[in-house]
């Protein structure tokens, strides 16, 4: 389970805690959850792989090779119906659901698993795909913090971004489910199961609309619950049993502000300095250099206090600096869109006048 703290706008000073876990992922995708067992398919013959890719014996088969066979009409037509289905299933899993690159090799375990289509259909793909997406989203900002810092240091106009792999579409649908104002740009059919198939676009969403979409007054759904139809469905009953019996509860995560973090660091440094002072005092009778050591510890303690204070100030200034840069980028983009719209309107007006002149002539 992921506890996401959302504060995307430079205007908003509000932190919203929303939960995106296995239950939410299952309601959105409709995929089955359960215990993942790949052990039966880690060894054995590769009949399907050798049939379709006889020229790849002893070599890795990449996603690009799978697409090559599907796009080659002559080769794809020679395959039987079941092998064609197997090939498309592997491509869907690797590229669409797992978000892997076309150059990534396909694990031989998948070729052994897809040999039996019944086992493939009964496999716990929800748990497998969710685990990969969870690893991508977890601590994503901290993973790219150094990259963003050096990018902003080199270029003031640098906009921090990062890429996510996996079934990111489920995460996007979860945002639509969690924020009520998303209904201004998307519309949902509540009868469609799973939920990701029930959303459709109503109007164009611009980057400048983020301020209104995640505004302080916007209503949020912190916990997505199943409907009656979903609750009575067989796939949700099986998933719910797995969630209750096998999925451990995530511990409560405490989130502190920068000032609270600074106080915590300051308290730890005081305890370290106090312990070092007691050690130096206990050996003062036998060690002639203990006064120097005590003075050294005091100097280190004072320097640590100053460093922690400077780190807090730098973090606050960096955050406001990034927010100001994003605001300028949004304003420039909005200005360019307005200019384009004006140019289009002017061009249409010019064409109408020109057509009227041609008719009069």
Residue 159's pLDDT is what?
77
Whether the predicted pLDDT of 281 surpasses 70? no
Q: Is the pLDDT of residue 43 over 80?
A: yes
In a domain, 22, yes or no: yes
Residue with the larger pLDDT of the pair 318 and 230: 230
Q: Which of 103-107, 211-215, 219-223, 286-290 has the lowest average pLDDT?
A: 286-290
Is 133 in the same domain as 118? no
Percent of the chain with pLDDT over 70: 73
Do 303 and 337 share a structural domain? yes
Q: In this structure, what is the dihedral angle of CA atoms 152, 153, 154, 158, given to the nearest 10 degrees?
A: 10
CA 97, distance to chain mean position in Å, is 14
Does 1 have pLDDT greater than 50? no
Residue 168 forms part of a structural domain: yes
Answer yes or no: are the C-beta atoms of 333 and 207 closer than 8 Å. Answer: yes
Higher pLDDT, 11 or 59: 59
* Pair (86, 232) in one structural domain: no
In a domain, 267, yes or no: yes
pLDDT for the residue numbered 314: 72
274 and 326 co-located in one domain: yes
pLDDT digits (tens, 9 = 90+) for 233-272: 988 999 988 888 876 655 545 555 555 666 666 676 666 6
Same domain, 24 and 85: no
Residues 12 and 148 occupy one common structural domain: yes
Give the number of domains in the chain.
3
Reply yes or no on whether the pLDDT at 287 is more than 80.
no
Give CA–CA dist 34/166, Å, rounded.
Answer: 19
Structure confidence at residue 208 (pLDDT): 75
pLDDT for residue 154: 82
Question: Residue 3 has what pLDDT?
Answer: 45
Q: Write the CB contacts of 258 (distance below 8 Å, at least 6 apart in sequence).
A: 312, 315, 316
What is the pLDDT of the chain when averaged over all its residues? Answer: 78
Looking at the structure, tell me whether residues 140 and 23 fall in a common domain: yes
First to last CA, the chain: 72
Residue 266 structural domain? 260-360
Give the pLDDT of residue 117: 92
Of 14 and 24, the structure prediction assigns the larger pLDDT to 24
Tens of pLDDT, residue by residue over 125-181, are 999 999 998 888 887 777 777 777 778 778 877 777 777 788 888 888 888 888 887
Structure tokens at 220: 């949020």
Residue 332 sits in the same domain as residue 229: no
Q: Is residue 7 predicted with pLDDT exceeding 70?
A: no
Measured over the CA atoms of residue 46, residue 51, residue 56 and residue 57, the dihedral's sign is: positive
Structure tokens at 78: 């020679």
């Amino acid at each position: 389970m992921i506890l996401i703290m959302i504060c995307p706008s430079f205007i908003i000073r509000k932190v919203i805690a929303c939960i995106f876990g296995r239950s939410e992922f299952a309601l959105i995708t409709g995929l089955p959850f359960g215990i993942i067992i790949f052990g039966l398919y880690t060894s054995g013959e590769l009949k399907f792989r050798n049939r379709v890719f006889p020229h790849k014996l002893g070599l890795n088969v990449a996603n690009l090779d799978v697409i090559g066979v599907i796009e080659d009409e002559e080769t794809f037509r020679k395959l039987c119906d079941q092998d064609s289905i197997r090939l498309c299933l592997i491509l869907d899993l690797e590229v669409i659901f797992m978000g892997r690159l076309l150059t990534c090799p396909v694990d031989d375990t998948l070729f052994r698993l897809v040999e039996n289509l019944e086992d493939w259909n009964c496999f716990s793909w929800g748990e497998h795909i969710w685990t990969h997406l969870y690893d991508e989203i977890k601590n994503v900002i901290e993973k790219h913090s150094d990259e963003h810092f050096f990018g902003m240091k080199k270029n003031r106009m640098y906009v921090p971004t990062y890429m996510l792999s996996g079934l990111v579409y489920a995460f996007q649908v979860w945002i639509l489910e969690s924020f009520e104002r998303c209904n201004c740009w998307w519309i949902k059919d509540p009868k469609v199961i799973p939920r990701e198939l029930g959303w459709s676009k109503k109007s164009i969403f611009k980057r400048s609309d983020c301020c209104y979409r995640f505004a302080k007054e916007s209503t949020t759904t912190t916990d997505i619950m199943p409907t009656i139809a979903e609750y009575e469905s067989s796939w949700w009953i099986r998933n719910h049993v797995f969630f209750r019996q096998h999925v451990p509860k995530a511990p409560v995560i405490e989130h502190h502000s920068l000032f609270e973090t600074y106080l915590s660091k300051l308290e730890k440094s005081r305890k370290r300095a106090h312990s070092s002072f007691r050690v130096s005092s206990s050996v003062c009778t036998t060690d002639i250099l203990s006064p120097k050591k005590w003075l050294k510890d005091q100097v280190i303690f004072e320097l640590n206090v100053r460093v922690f204070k400077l780190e807090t100030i730098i973090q606050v200034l960096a955050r406001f600096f990034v927010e100001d840069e994003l605001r300028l980028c949004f304003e420039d983009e909005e200005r360019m869109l307005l200019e384009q719209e004006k140019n289009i309107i002017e061009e249409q007006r010019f064409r109408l006048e020109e057509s009227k002149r041609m008719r009069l002539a």
